[in-house]
C-alpha cells in the first residue's frame, strides 16, 4: 500500500512555522510522509530541515506595502511559483495540502485547488490577513486558532481546533495553577524587546519591595541579554534569573503565576492551554495588527490585561504588574481561560484531514 503523503506550506515567521512543525510531527506519527514547501529566506528554511523533514523552496513574494516595481516583481515570482507548485504537486501526488499562512503559501495552495488536491488552512490569529481570506474560498476545511476568525470564512468550512502546539502541551500530567507561588515569567522575545526589557528592569526594585519572596525568570533575547544582565548583576541574585533564550518554555509556564510578553498567536495559544494569567504588550504595528486583536480577545475573557506601548509605557506596565500580581486577582484571571480551551488541536486537525481527504 502506498504511504499517505501531505504537503505543508507557509512560513516566514515562527508564528507560522512552529504550528506547521507541530502538525508535521503529528502527521508523521500517524504514518504520513510530510513534505514542506517554503521560501529560502524564511525561518522555515532552517527550522524544517533541523526537524528532519524534506524542505523545498518556492519563489513568491509579498504585495502589501510594496512599491509598484516590487509588486510587478512579486507577481512574476508568484507566477513562477504557481507553475513550479503545479509541477511539484502533480509529481508528488499528495492526499492533502495544508497552508499555515504567510505569502509563501499562496502559489502552492492555488496549485492544490487547480489540481483538485484537498486543501486545508490553519489560521493562527483571531483576525485574518488578505491571503487566507482569499484562500479560504478554495479550502475544504479551515482550522481556527480562535473562533472569532470564523467571521472571515464560510461557517461550514470552519473547525474550532485551537492552534496546534507541541505535543508536550497536551500531556495529561499538568501542574495545577497556584497563584500563591509568586513566579513572574517575562518573555522579551527570542530576539528581545527593548521596551519590555527596559521597563521590567526599571520596576524590579519596587516589585521585589512589594513581593520579597517572588521569583522572576526573564528571557531578554539575544540582542538585549548582555545589557539586561549588566543592569541587574549583583542586585537580585537570589530571586532573579535572566537568560537570552528559553528552550523548555513549557516547564516555566507550569511554574509561572503571571506571564508578561508579546501577544503573538503562538504565545497566546500556549497560555490558553496552560491557563496562566498574562499581561500582554502587543507588538506595535500599523495597519492590521494581529497581536492587538489577540491580546484584547483574551482580555475580554478576563484572563489577561493589555498594556500597549506608547507614552508612559514603563510606568503603566509597572502599575499593572504590581496591581495584578496578587493571588486573588490571578485566581480570577486564570478562570477566564476555561471557555477558550478546545482540547488537543493536533488530534482534531490530523483526524479531520484523514477523514475528509479520502471522501
Can 5-162+342-356 and 179-340 be said to share one CATH topology?
yes
The 10s digit of each residue's pLDDT in 91-101 is: 999 999 999 98
pLDDT of the chain, 359 residues: tens digit per residue? 568 999 999 987 778 899 999 999 999 999 999 999 998 887 898 999 999 999 998 876 554 555 555 666 666 667 888 999 999 999 999 999 999 988 889 999 999 999 999 999 999 988 888 888 999 999 999 999 999 999 999 999 999 999 999 989 988 656 788 888 999 999 976 555 889 999 999 999 999 999 999 999 999 988 888 888 888 887 776 899 998 888 889 999 999 999 999 999 999 999 999 999 999 999 887 766 889 999 999 999 999 999 999 999 999 999 999 999 999 999 999 999 988 887 899 999 999 999 876 65
Alpha helices (H) in the chain, listed in sequence order: 14-29, 44-50, 68-92, 105-114, 130-135, 194-210, 225-232, 249-255, 265-274, 290-300, 313-324, 327-335, 345-356
Nearest to 3 by CA among 81, 96, 86, 114: 96
Question: CA 147 to CA 158: how far, in whole Å?
Answer: 9
Question: CA 325 to CA 215: how far, in whole Å?
Answer: 12
**pLDDT at residue 248, rounded to an integer:** 87
Question: CA 267 to CA 309: how far, in whole Å?
Answer: 18
Q: How many CB atoms lie within 10 A of CB 32?
A: 21
Q: Are strands 33-38 and 5-9 parallel, antiparallel or unpaired?
A: parallel
Contact criterion met (CB below 8 Å) for 207 and 322: yes
Q: What is the DSSP string of 193-252?
A: -HHHHHHHHHHHHHHHHH-TT-EEEEE--TTTHHHHHHHHTTTSTTTEEEES--S-HHHH
Domain boundaries, the chain: 5-162+342-356, 179-340
Question: CA 102 to CA 112: how far, in whole Å?
Answer: 16
Question: CA 77 to CA 336: how far, in whole Å?
Answer: 45
Reply yes or no on domain 5-162+342-356 having CATH 3.40.50.2300. no
Class of domain 179-340: alpha beta
Amino acid at each position: 500500500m502506498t504511504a499517505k503523503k501531505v504537503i505543508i506550506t507557509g512560513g516566514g515567521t515562527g508564528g507560522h512555522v512552529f504550528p506547521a512543525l507541530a502538525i508535521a510531527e503529528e502527521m508523521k506519527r500517524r504514518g504520513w510522509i510530510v513534505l514542506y514547501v517554503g521560501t529560502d529566506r524564511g525561518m522555515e528554511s532552517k527550522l524544517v530541515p533541523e526537524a528532519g523533514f524534506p524542505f523545498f523552496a518556492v519563489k513568491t513574494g509579498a504585495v502589501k506595502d510594496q512599491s509598484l516595481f516590487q509588486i510587478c516583481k512579486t507577481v512574476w515570482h508568484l507566477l513562477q511559483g504557481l507553475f513550479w507548485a503545479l509541477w511539484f504537486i502533480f509529481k508528488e501526488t499528495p492526499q492533502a495540502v495544508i497552508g499555515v499562512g504567510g505569502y509563501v503559501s499562496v502559489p502552492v495552495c492555488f496549485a492544490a485547488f487547480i489540481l483538485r488536491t484537498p486543501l486545508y488552512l490553519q489560521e493562527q490569529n483571531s483576525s485574518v490577513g488578505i491571503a487566507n481570506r482569499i484562500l479560504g474560498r478554495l479550502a475544504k476545511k479551515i482550522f481556527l486558532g480562535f473562533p472569532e476568525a470564523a467571521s472571515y470564512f464560510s461557517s461550514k468550512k470552519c473547525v474550532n481546533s485551537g492552534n496546534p502546539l507541541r505535543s508536550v502541551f497536551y500531556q495529561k500530567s499538568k501542574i495545577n495553577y497556584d497563584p500563591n507561588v509568586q513566579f513572574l515569567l517575562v518573555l522579551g522575545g527570542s530576539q528581545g524587546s527593548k521596551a519590555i526589557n527596559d521597563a521590567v528592569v526599571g520596576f524590579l526594585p519596587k516589585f521585589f519591595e512589594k513581593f520579597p519572596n517572588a521569583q522572576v525568570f526573564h528571557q531578554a533575547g539575544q540582542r538585549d541579554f548582555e545589557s539586561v544582565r549588566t543592569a541587574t548583576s549583583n542586585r537580585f541574585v537570589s530571586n532573579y534569573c535572566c537568560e537570552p533564550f528559553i528552550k523548555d518554555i513549557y516547564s516555566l509556564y507550569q511554574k509561572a503565576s503571571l506571564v508578561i510578553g508579546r501577544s503573538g498567536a503562538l504565545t497566546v495559544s500556549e497560555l490558553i492551554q496552560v491557563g496562566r494569567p498574562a499581561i500582554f504588550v502587543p507588538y506595535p504595528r500599523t495597519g492590521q495588527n494581529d497581536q492587538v486583536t489577540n491580546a484584547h480577545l483574551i482580555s475580554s475573557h478576563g484572563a489577561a490585561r493589555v498594556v500597549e506601548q506608547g507614552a508612559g509605557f514603563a510606568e503603566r506596565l509597572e502599575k499593572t504588574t504590581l496591581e495584578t500580581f496578587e493571588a486573588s486577582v490571578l485566581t480570577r484571571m486564570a478562570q477566564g481561560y476555561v471557555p477558550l480551551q478546545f482540547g488537543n488541536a493536533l488530534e482534531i486537525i490530523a483526524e479531520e484531514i484523514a477523514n475528509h481527504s479520502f471522501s
